[in-house]
Amino acid sequence: MSSRKGQKGSARVVREQLARERRRRRTIWVSAAAVAVLVIAGLIGWSVWSSQRADDFTTPPGANAAGTGIVTGGGPVTVDVYEDFLCPACRQFEQTTGATLEQLVAENKAKVVYHPVAYLNRFSTTEYSTRSSAASGCAAAGGRFREYAKALFERQPPEGSAGLTDDQLIDIGAGVGLDRGSFGDCVRDDTYRTWTEHVTEEASRAGVTGTPTILVNGQPLADRSPQGLTSAVAAAGK
């Protein structure tokens, strides 16, 4: 008799253990499913937010269809120039090869797309990369993007400084023929700050990790000298 009771007791213990194990497994699966739902919802939410953010920007006149750069010329070869107005190497490229770019445009050999990115804000105490890029958008709106960009490089502040003030950026614009009133309002209102963010984000998505980056029909330009650029454009145009 006691043997049968012992067997029943053992069986009950086993059943209870199995029941607890089933409950534990159900709890794990329910928790995992809940986490998965939250992750999926979070990814969807982030995707929607990111998409909305990417689409929420003001594009200056003269930009390409994607809103990622200012276009000059209409030649058969596309040259993309990714530059930061605080970048010393970009200043050097402008001084050595900028005129060659303009010549290629004038000869209808190339279309140049300038992408003023803001990669170097960490080297300024006032987000100068962003402010100067946004100001170049204001210059594009006034039809003086190239003139203004060259003037910015001529007046380039040192890395680690506050950079030029808004008043100085406006003075430079007036110096290249922009209307001080409308251009000044554009700069002070940060009209094209969202555009600068868009240009910078899209450059990063495209794999641009530093400035200057020069692409000729999508291919990186290794030799950034005037001769190297001219040869690359000629080869791409064949």
Among 77, 72, 145, smallest CA distance to 113 is for: 72
Q: Rounded to an integer, what distance in angstroms lies between the CA atom of residue 103 and that of residue 236? A: 16
Mark residue 29 as left, alpha or beta (left: phi above 0; alpha: psi -120 to 50; beta: remaining).
alpha
Report pLDDT digits (tens) over 168-187: 999 999 999 999 999 999 99
Quote the pTM value: 0.77
Of the chain, the percentage scoring pLDDT greater than 90 comes to 76
Mean pLDDT throughout 130-145? 98
At residue 50, the pLDDT reads: 42
Segments in the chain forming alpha helices (H): 2-55, 88-106, 128-141, 145-154, 166-175, 180-188, 193-205, 226-236
The answer to whether 139 and 192 are in contact (CB under 8 A) is no
Say yes or no to pLDDT of 202 above 90. Answer: yes
Count CA atoms closer than 13 A to 50's CA, side-chain side.
Answer: 9
Task: Report the C-alpha gap between 101 and 97 in whole angstroms.
Answer: 7
Q: What is the pLDDT of residues 72-110, one digit of tens each?
A: 999 999 999 999 999 999 999 999 999 999 999 999 999
Q: What is the mean pLDDT of residues 18-25?
A: 69
**pLDDT interval class at 9 (50, 70, 90):** low
Per-residue pLDDT at 119: 98
For 209-220, how does the pLDDT look when each residue is reduced to its tens digit (9 = 90+)?
999 999 999 999
